[in-house]
Amino acid sequence: MNALLHGRLTGLLALAAVIAVLPAFLPNNFYLDIAILAGFNAVVCVGLNLLIGYAGQISLGHAGFFGIGAYASGVLVGSYGWPPVLALLAGAVFVGLLAFLVAKPILRLKGHYLAMATLGIGIIVSIVLRTESGLTGGPDGMMVEPFRIFGVELYGEKVWYWVVGLLLVGVVWLSLNLIDSPMGRALRAVHGSEVAAEVVGVDTARFKVLVFVLSAVFASVAGSLFAHYTGLITPAKADFFKSIELVTMVVFGGMASTFGAVVGAVVLTLLPQALTVFQDYQQIVLGGILMATMVFMPKGLLPTLAALIPARRRA
Amino acid sequence: MFAELLQYLLSGLTIGAIYALAGLGFSIIYNASHVINFAQGEFIMIGGMASATLTASGVPLPLAILIGCGGAMLVGVLVAKFAVERARDASTVTLIIITIGASIFLRGVAELVWGKDFKRLDAFSGETPIQFLGASMQPQSLWVVGTAGVLIVAIGLFFAKTLTGKAILATSHNRLAAQLVGIDVKRVVLASFALSAALGAVGGAVVAPITFSYTEMGIMLGLKGFTAAVLGGLGHGPGAVAGGLIVGVAEALGAGYISSAYKDAVAFVIILAVLLFMPNGLFGKRGTERV
């Protein structure tokens, strides 16, 4: 137990340390911008990993929740003059309620049926965002006002880097604590065998719903802040591909590994940037890498690397 | 009034026939390997693009379709052999990611070969609309529905009458038992990928004069095919066909009577409703994974 606690703290401190020293190695705002985008993705992936990696429930629609958060902030602040913090909270509450309402019936489904249902929700959300152009600006997207809190405007890559870094550390801390709590153990029991979990008295339905709602809210908050950071949101941020991208990050980094989700998000955010050199081949390389990783390291990057280091505790 | 409804029904059945072919493709592969092949839409795209570009460069249409079909089958076999076969014991999520990777890869290759532009394929037998009880119909719609019908019947006969078909069925019921009676399960998986690739490619070719062809066309067609397959109950062939037609007709009615902007959402609203109230799909036996 002590070792476990120790391991958890070490990981968290290591992450915080990396985030703290990274800016010193980033030559300009372009790199800082990529780091920020990676941070936003990582926040969503840590939440999604709780759902996919720990509870074993796939969601192909999480970009929809990200999108609702982003547009809630964009619309409420821009068109209705709400304070950004309030808009962010409203988006999160709405997404939480929506996730709660759909979670119970949807999480009865398994495997491909669950994949289909979550995919359906995500696609419906993105079609609504694309179509209701009076509110959302349609396919061209909408401008979002800067984030203001107590009269201070968050501006520039440097400020946003620390905001996202702090958020990521907070989310990782929450996730690690959750995994080691009775709820985390219950979730892993659900993943292992739902029937066995029920037999020993775990209320599987309740936990699955809880983690679904939680991961959706993470996505919504990240979406809200992302919208303020970039200043422009488009329905593409909520569509099927974004959802796939998020799931891929989780699976690529390593399922059931919080740090794996972070690593997956970082690597797969960097990759397309590196691939712009190969413009025409970008999709081919990306698709090829996806297939190759899944075929040769089905457990994902971090667990595969961890297995190479003998007799060390797992992150 | 009636003519309008008839018009929607006809256009719904046309596009529904393509969804049915795609859905059938999903089901065949699912049965043989328990994989949902997210690259199914790419087979449709390959069929459409190949027939459109080959005929444009002077190849006769039947030959062009045949080449497209052969190309798609080869691609299907390669996906099965190099990606799916190697990940035999992988989880559902992993397999989903692999086939999504394959679909992104194939789209990338297609863009390199064919470019991003829309490609046009002439209708097979002219564009003079056929008048029918006040509704009008493109002759190509008849080609689409007719071809899909013939293919669906042929697939039914294939599974009922041929040894390969029966081997696929046996594998889908019990992989181990099939192996024990001497069925080469790996070849069955390859055959199922080739078969559903061929179905998709032919569908893509016959629908090309109606929808135009472009490298991104496979995405929505594939997702609608998946909807059709789940609606009918995964792995249930006739169910997938019915699912495809239902999705197509509902979409056309939704576009006509409710809002054409929400046309694409109709399929997903239906599938959500069905999954919530009938978790097994319309004809499926179970909503849980086979272990």
Q: Which two three-digit tokens encode residue A27?
A: 């030559």
Label residue B72 by pLDDT band (50, 70, 90): very high
How does pLDDT run across B200-211, given as a tens digit for each residue? 999 999 999 998
How does pLDDT run across A39-51, given as a tens digit for each residue? 999 999 999 999 9
Q: Nearest-5° angle of CA A69, CA A168, CA A254?
A: 100
Beta strands at A142-143 and A148-149: parallel, antiparallel or unpaired: unpaired
- Residue A55 contacts B, CB cutoff 8 Å: no
Average pLDDT over residues B68-86: 93
Give strand ranges (E) for chain B: 130-132, 135-137
How close does chain A come to B210, measured CA to CA in Å?
23
**Residue A81 CB contacts under 8 Å (≥ 6 apart), including other chains:** none
- Residue A294 contacts B, CB cutoff 8 Å: yes
Q: Give the residue from A43, A145, A141, A169 showing the smallest Cα distance to A85.
A: A145
pLDDT of B34: 86
Query: Helices A111-131 and A62-78, interaxial angle, to 10°?
Result: 20
Report the half-sphere exposure of B250 (CA within 13 A, side-chain side): 20
Q: How far apart are CA B255 and CA B57, in angstroms?
A: 36
Label residue B287 by pLDDT band (50, 70, 90): very low
Tell me which of B97, B106, B269, B288 to substitute to probe the interface with A (most A C-beta atoms closer than 10 Å).
B97
Are A144 and A74 spatial neighbours (Cβ–Cβ below 8 Å)? yes
pLDDT at B172 over 60: yes
Rounded alpha-carbon distances, angstroms, from residue B167 to A1, A90, B199: 53, 56, 19
Q: How far apart are CA A98 and CA A112, in angstroms?
A: 22
pTM for the model stands at 0.89
pLDDT of A77: 94
Q: Which two three-digit tokens encode residue A276?
A: 């712009």
Q: Do A294 and B87 touch (CB under 8 A)?
A: yes
Which amino acid type is present at position B85? E
- Residue B118 contacts A, CB cutoff 8 Å: no
How does pLDDT run across B114-164, given as a tens digit for each residue? 988 899 898 998 888 888 888 888 899 999 999 999 999 999 999 889 988
SS3 track for chain A:
CHHHHHHHHHHHHHHHHHHHHHHHHCCCHHHHHHHHHHHHHHHHHHHHHHHHHHCCCCCCCHHHHHHHHHHHHHHHHHCCCCCHHHHHHHHHHHHHHHHHHHHHHHCCCCHHHHHHHHHHHHHHHHHHHHHCHHHHCHHHCEECCCCEECCEECCHHHHHHHHHHHHHHHHHHHHHHHHHCHHHHHHHHHHHCHHHHHHCCCCHHHHHHHHHHHHHHHHHHHHHHHHHHHCEECHHHHCHHHHHHHHHHHHHHCCCCHHHHHHHHHHHHHHHHHHHHHHHHHHHHHHHHHHHHHHHCCCCHHHHHHHHCCCCCCC
| Exposed / middle / buried, residue A195 (Cβ in 10 Å: 0-12, 13-18, 19+) | exposed
Q: How far apart are CA B276 and CA B270, in angstroms?
A: 10
Residue B132 has φ and ψ, to the nearest 5°, of -150, 105
Average pLDDT over residues A117-142: 92
Average pLDDT over residues A202-225: 91
- Give the residue carrying structure tokens 């087979």: B43
Counted across chains A and B, CB pairs separated by less than 8 A come out at 140
B214 Cα distance to chain centroid: 16
How does pLDDT run across A205-216, given as a tens digit for each residue? 888 899 999 999
ipTM for the complex shown = 0.87
- Residue A119 contacts B, CB cutoff 8 Å: yes
Hey, how many other C-beta atoms are within 10 angstroms of the C-beta on B76? 31
pLDDT at A255 over 90: no
Highest-confidence segment of A61-65, A184-188, A302-306: A61-65
**Residue A128 CB contacts under 8 Å (≥ 6 apart), including other chains:** B265
pLDDT of A5: 53
- Residue A127 contacts B, CB cutoff 8 Å: yes
pLDDT of A49: 94
Label residue A200 by pLDDT band (50, 70, 90): confident
Average pLDDT over residues A169-198: 83
B-chain residue closest to A107, CA distance: B276
Label residue A235 by pLDDT band (50, 70, 90): very high
Interface of B with A in 210-269 (CB under 8 A): 219, 223, 226-227, 230, 234, 259, 261-262, 264-265, 268-269
pLDDT at A181 over 70: yes
Tell me which of A49, A57, A106, A123 to substitute to probe the interface with B (most B C-beta atoms closer than 10 Å).
A123
Name which residue leads in pLDDT, A150 or B81.
B81
- Give the residue carrying structure tokens 């090829």: A288
pLDDT at B171 over 80: yes
Q: How far apart are CA B268 and CA A227, in angstroms?
A: 27
Q: Which two three-digit tokens encode residue B251?
A: 């979409």
How close does chain A come to B152, measured CA to CA in Å?
24
pLDDT at A149 over 60: yes
- Residue B91 contacts A, CB cutoff 8 Å: yes
pLDDT at A315 over 80: no
Sign of the dihedral through C-alpha B25, B27, B30, B32: negative
pLDDT at A278 over 80: no
Mean confidence (pLDDT) of chain A: 88
Query: Helices B185-211 and B163-173, interaxial angle, to 10°?
Result: 110
